[in-house]
Every structure is written in C-alpha cells, then in structure tokens.
Amino acid sequence: MAAASYDRLAVAASLLVAAVVVAGLPAAGALGVNWGTMATHRLPPGTVVRMLEDNGIRKVKLFDADAGPMDALAGTSVEVMVAIPNNMLDMMTDYGTARDWVHQNVSRYNFDGGVNIKYVAVGNEPFLSSFNGTFLNVTLPALQNIQRALNDAGLGDSIKATVPLNADVYNSPTESPYPSAGRFRSDIADLMTEIVQFLNQSGAPFTVNIYPFLSLYDSDDFPLDYAFFDGTSSPVVDAGNGIRYTNVFDANFDTLVSALAAAGVGGLPVVVGEVGWPTDGDKHATAAYAQKFYAGLLRKLAANAGTPLRPGQYIEVYLFSLVDEDAKSVAPGNFERHWGIMRYDGQPKYGMDLSGQGRTNTALVAARGVQYLPRQWCVVNPNAQDMSKIGDGVTYACTFSDCTSLGYGSSCNGLDAGGNASYAFNMYFQVQNQVEGSCDFQGLAVPTAQNPSTDACNFTIQITPSAAGRRRRAIAATALLLLVLLAALHVAP
C-alpha cells in the first residue's frame, strides 16, 4: 500500500513538473518530434503518447502509418505527420493505389476523436546519393497523386503532402560558397524546381532535414563552435550581402531560402523535418554536446529569431528524435542508433528545457509504467577454460545486437578486452529477451545479478517485448500485402 502511494506521488510530481514546463511558454507546444520505431524492443505506443503529452509535445512525425502509433494517437490533440516509406513510392505513381492508401491511412482516421493528421510525408530523403537515383522518377508523381487523393477525399485544404528532403539537395557553388548563392543541386535542379512549384501551388511546405552534427562528423577541420548557437570566433561573412553567420544551422537554412528564391518560390514555407544531436557512437556524439545544442536551438525558437534571410519568424521544427533505435542501419555511422532525447526505455538522457527559457535543472518527464526484463546481465565467465574463441563470440553477439557504444570515441570505449566481451554478450542476451541459452557462447559467458556497468558505460537491461506490438506489425504487413494486391487488380477497398 505504501509503495503504491509513493508511485502515485511520483507520477503526480512528474505531471506537475510537466505542467510548469509547458504553462504559459510557447516553445514546447509548437515543437514536434520524430517518433521512429526501428528498435528490437519498442515502447508500447500508448506509453509513448502519454510521454509526449506529459512533456507538452503537440506534434509528431512518423515514418509510416502503422496502426499501433496511429491508434494510440487517436483522440489526442497531437498533430501528426504520417509517412509513405521510400519502398512504396513506385506504387504511388498509380493514382488508384495512392487513393487507396489515403483511404486506408488518412481518411479512416478523419472523425471526431480520430487522429489530427496535418501532413503526409511522401518518402524520406529519396534523393540521397546513396540511393543511386532509385527514386528520382517516382517521387514527384507520387507526391502529386497523394495530394490529388487528399483533395478528392475532401481533405486537401487541411492536410498537405510534402517530401522530407536531406539538405544535400541544395548547395552553393565553389566559386561563391555562401548562403546567398544557394541553388538546387545541378543534377536534380529541374526536378527540384518542379517539386517546389507544386508544393507552392498546393499550399504545402518544403520539408528539410538539417544536421549540424554531420558537419563535425564529416570534417575534423570544421570549427566546433560553429555547430552550436553560442557564437563563434570565426563567423562566415556572406560576400553576396555582407551577412555574418555565426552558426551552421542558419547558414544551411538560408542556403535553402536562396535556392527557393532562385526557383521562383522565395516565399515557400519551410519545415525542418529533422534536427538533432546524437549522444553516442562518435567522439562528438555526447550527452553534453547534445544538451548544449538543444539549449541553443530551443532558445532560438522561443525567441522567434528566425534566420538572417527570414528574420523574426518561428521555424516549425521536429526534433530528431524521441527515443534511441537499436535496429537502425549504421551505414551513416555508429551514432545513428543514438539520436534520441530519451533512452530506448523513455528515460531522459540529460536536462532539457523545452520552453527555450534556458532554465537549469529542468528535466523531461520520463515514460511511465515501463516494464523491464529481470534484473540480470550476461558477462564473461570467470571460470571459462578456453578463451581462444572469445573473439568469434563477440563478433556473433555484435552481429545480432547493438555494440556501437564500444567504438572509438563512444561511451564504452574505455573498457578492457574482458569488458568489451561482456558488453557484447549482454547486448545479445538482452535482445534475445534473456532466454535460456542466450548467455552461454560455448561456456564463455554466464548470467549474473551483479551490475557490471561503469560510470561511463551502461550495461542495458531491456524492456519487455510488447505482444501488442508484434500483433500490430503482423497486421501492418498484411495490410501492405493487401494494398499491393489491390494495386495489381486496380480494385478500390
């Protein structure tokens, strides 16, 4: 009874903190976050939605239209951007298929107590060079068909189709490397002009993903302070207009503004679909840097500072991202699984004042009611006789779990060889839900109730897998198959 009372008191205190954070302050309510689900163990959708509401976050950007998150968002005031994955863009070039998708994933949520859908994201960064042009010929037709389907469904005035694009779709020429000289990339300039003119005609915004962190990651010569918002000892002076840029976010954003103007749509609204800072997987990916970056960004947003070419304007922003995702590809870098402002289990990583007022000791409200696997870890067996195969065991464990925190500059980089092996074995053990036999590795590993974590390196205990989540994924897969069949038959549902 006493424990239950303490739990209720803790929840009440958390909600009071959230109310104080949000009340009377504009930034939190206008902020959005990206809710990705590429994780081996996902928080239940209802838990995530409660966490959004507890923190006063009123906008969320999804990467699909999975029924789990959508059902959990129903009946809330949270504004939603649903998405069509890149692998479905080719299908959407057929209007009948696009119409069916809108019917199944947008129209059916359009009722009192439904989902407050504001945007449909058509693809995600489809023009990345790593895609080798796969989506160049299908993105614009898909965009046009989705907006047409929204219009035909009577939803086009309130719901707009857009395409989240990476910032590499625009640049400045080498002879004039300044924001005022921004143009769309030469190989896709004509296509980008068609896209932005269509967005302008339909009343939709241009959506761009901007990552100052990547500037640091890509070049050791990049000035560290230019990635943040506290000023720099070496500002960039735009030779075209004399503007002094003190941070790369403003410079990047204004390069896009110039590119839009050059394409004849200088007033097109811009939404920053992703912006954030990772906390592990690289020497610059730390909680301290992430906290510094967000403090500056949120302060800028709260002040409606805009950018030099669009001053005094609030910038609509979706932070990237809400929680860590341990199943994401690490092709971009080991940091890719560590973008969350929350850990995998919905626990805050650092202090963060969403209001942008810069108040110290302000924390996000953690996810409530999270259930964990038993409190046990997997470590190297101190009594193991033959250690010659430990390298093979580590390789196997890391192939099927997330060992990115062991890399150079990462949080667990300081472990010795035995610590590295224990970390890898434990990550595999947790991903396998601690099932019998998953902590053996031919006698090299053994379960323990003693926490092997260090001050710098956390040995994870995973959350319990969600049976509801597995059912929803199966339903989503069935729905996708049905959509493919309908497209082949040209049959409306």
Tell me the catalytic residues. Answer: 125, 274
Cβ pair 225, 293 in contact under 8 A: no
d(CA 415, CA 418): 8
What stretch of H or E contains 214? helix 212-218
Question: Which of left, alpha, beta for 452 (phi over 0: left; psi -120 to 50: alpha)?
Answer: alpha
CB distance 343 to 349 below 8 Å: yes
CB neighbour list of residue 71: distance below 8 Å, 6 or more residues apart:
45
Asked if 223 and 284 count as a contact pair (C-beta separation under 8 A), the reply is no
* CA-based nearest residue to 116, from 64, 58, 30: 58
Query: What strands lie across the sheet with 316-319, from one edge to the other?
Result: 160-162, 116-122, 79-84, 59-61, 32-34, 316-319, 270-275, 206-209, 164-166
Tell me the sheet residues that pair with 80.
60, 117
- Closest of 338, 454, 341 to residue 402, by C-alpha: 338
Whether residue 373 contacts residue 463, with contact meaning beta carbons closer than 8 Å, is answered with: yes
How far is residue 48's CA from residue 72's CA, in Å, rounded to a whole number?
Answer: 9
Q: What share of the chain is helix, strand, coil (3-state, %, to 5)?
A: 40, 15, 45
Q: Count of CB atoms within 10 A of residue 217's CB?
A: 20
- State yes or no: cis peptide before 130, omega within 30 of 0: no
Please classify residue 161 by burial: count the beta carbons closer than 10 Å to its beta carbon, then call 0-12 exposed, 13-18 middle and 19+ buried.
buried
**CB of 266 within 8 A of CB of 310?**
no
User: Rounded to 5 degrees, what are φ and ψ at 170?
Assistant: -135, 160
Instruction: Give the C-alpha separation, 6 to 12, whole Å.
Output: 10
Beta strands in 129-218 (DSSP E): 160-162, 164-166, 170-171, 183-184, 206-209
